[in-house]
């Protein structure tokens, strides 16, 4: 399967926005893509304002019904915590084998599968099983999303090191901007990350209106896929 796993150096770095850009790109390339949110925390409903699947599909489709959306989220927990603890708060457990089979089943018939986890690579799904372990399990390629601000060199290089140690291929690193940042700092961050990793690094500026701004990043997605 052609799995692309969008992960991050932290929570709230822009993984869902990048997932949306990817989906839009594949649709414009006449591919048949699907976005799957493996574990959603901090929501009690798939239509919640913080639901990542809702954000992606409401910006791609004219109409999104509950059954369609619920089928794109495997686990949903109310508390905004790491999945292992959010599940435990509800006296539940995340079944890794079930999660793997869920992804495989929902990927059938699609040629591009965009997967998004929860938080960063070392976020626990089970006691000693992390997001990075699931990426390895399903043999996915990674797009690593990070902040462009101060501190991102450390967080990004540590994440790359963890991925390298598990022989997980990284397609690209994307710095996702949510607010204006110092241009020189961003350039230096990109330089440092590329010099160490030799992985393509791209900057995605703040998207004010997804329906209007997605087209700006078509060329970036072309370079990543190429």
Q: Strand, coil or helix: what is 49?
A: coil
Q: Please, what sign has the CA dihedral across residues 23, 219, 8, 147?
A: negative
Strand partners, 175: 146, 203
The active-site residue, picked from 28, 29, 37, 141, is 37
Other C-beta atoms lying within 10 Å of the C-beta of residue 222: 11
Question: 180 burial class (0-12, 13-18, 19+ CB within 10 angstroms)?
Answer: exposed
> Are the C-beta atoms of residues 9 and 152 closer than 8 Å to each other?
yes
**Is 37 a residue of the active site?**
yes
- Which residues are designated catalytic? 37
């Amino acid at each position: 399967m052609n799995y692309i796993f969008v992960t991050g150096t932290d929570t709230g770095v822009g993984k869902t926005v990048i997932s949306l850009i990817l989906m839009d790109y594949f649709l414009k390339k006449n591919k048949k893509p699907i976005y799957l949110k493996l574990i959603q925390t901090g929501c009690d409903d798939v239509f919640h304002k913080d639901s990542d699947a809702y954000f992606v599909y409401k910006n791609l489709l004219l109409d999104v019904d509950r059954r369609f959306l619920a089928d794109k989220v495997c686990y949903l927990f109310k508390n905004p915590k790491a999945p292992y603890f959010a599940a435990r708060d509800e006296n539940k457990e995340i079944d890794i084998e079930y999660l793997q089979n869920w992804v495989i089943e929902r990927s059938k018939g699609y040629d591009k599968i965009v997967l998004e986890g929860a938080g960063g690579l070392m976020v626990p799904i089970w006691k000693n099983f992390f997001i990075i372990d699931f990426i390895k399990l399903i043999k996915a390629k990674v797009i690593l999303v990070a902040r462009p601000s101060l501190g991102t060199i450390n967080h990004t290089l540590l994440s790359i090191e963890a991925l390298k140690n598990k022989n997980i291929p990284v397609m690209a690193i994307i710095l996702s901007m949510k607010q204006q940042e110092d241009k020189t700092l961003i350039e230096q961050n990109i330089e440092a990350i590329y010099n160490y990793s030799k992985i393509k690094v791209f900057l995605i500026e703040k998207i004010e209106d997804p329906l209007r701004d997605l087209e700006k990043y078509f060329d970036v997605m072309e370079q990543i896929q190429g």
